[in-house]
């Protein structure tokens, strides 16, 4: 059973370009969470999705950021018109149940560098 798969592992974008980060949850998991980690800091919650639904996007910036988790395929975190401040590690986690009564399984992250 493969773990949470994120790709790409490293992504370099020029200012103004779009960044697409993909996350395939563990088999059987229907809950996906995206977090952002700035250097030397903890993880900041961004968005929580279930299949085809956004449950909580309270941590998402209001502009340029969007997320989806379609019925088929991976979850996508999309950042439009990237700026240098978007440079960070973006982690995806998945869980099988409702809420967090159990542990979350994390991917290895995507490190986004905006130049």
Applying CB under 8 A, which residues contact another protein?
A: 4, 33, 35, 41-45, 48, 55-56, 91, 93, 98-109
Shortest CB 114 distance to another protein, Å = 18
Pairing of strands 10-13, 110-114: parallel
Q: Please count the CA atoms within 13 angstroms of the CA of 111 that sit on its side-chain side.
A: 4
Check: CB of residue 82 under 8 Å from CB of residue 18: yes
In the complex, the smallest distance separating the C-beta of residue 14 from another protein, rounded to whole angstroms, is 23
Looking at the Cβ atoms of 14 and 28, the one nearer to another protein is: 28
- Minimum Å gap between C-beta 40 and another protein is 8
Cα(68)–Cα(75) distance, integer angstroms: 6
With tokens 């992250």, the residue in question is: 109
Of 54 and 76, nearer to another protein (C-beta) is 54
């Amino acid at each position: 059973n493969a773990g949470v798969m994120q790709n790409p592992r490293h992504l370099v974008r020029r200012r103004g370009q779009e960044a697409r980060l993909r996350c395939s949850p563990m088999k059987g998991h229907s809950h996906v969470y995206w977090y952002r980690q700035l250097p030397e800091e903890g993880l900041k919650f961004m968005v929580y999705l279930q299949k085809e639904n956004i449950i909580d996007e309270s941590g998402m910036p209001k502009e340029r950021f969007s997320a989806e988790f379609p019925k088929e395929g991976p979850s996508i975190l999309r950042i439009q018109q990237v700026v240098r401040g978007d440079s960070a590690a973006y982690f995806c986690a998945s869980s099988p149940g409702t809420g967090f009564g159990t542990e979350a399984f994390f991917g290895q992250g995507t490190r986004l560098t905006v130049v």
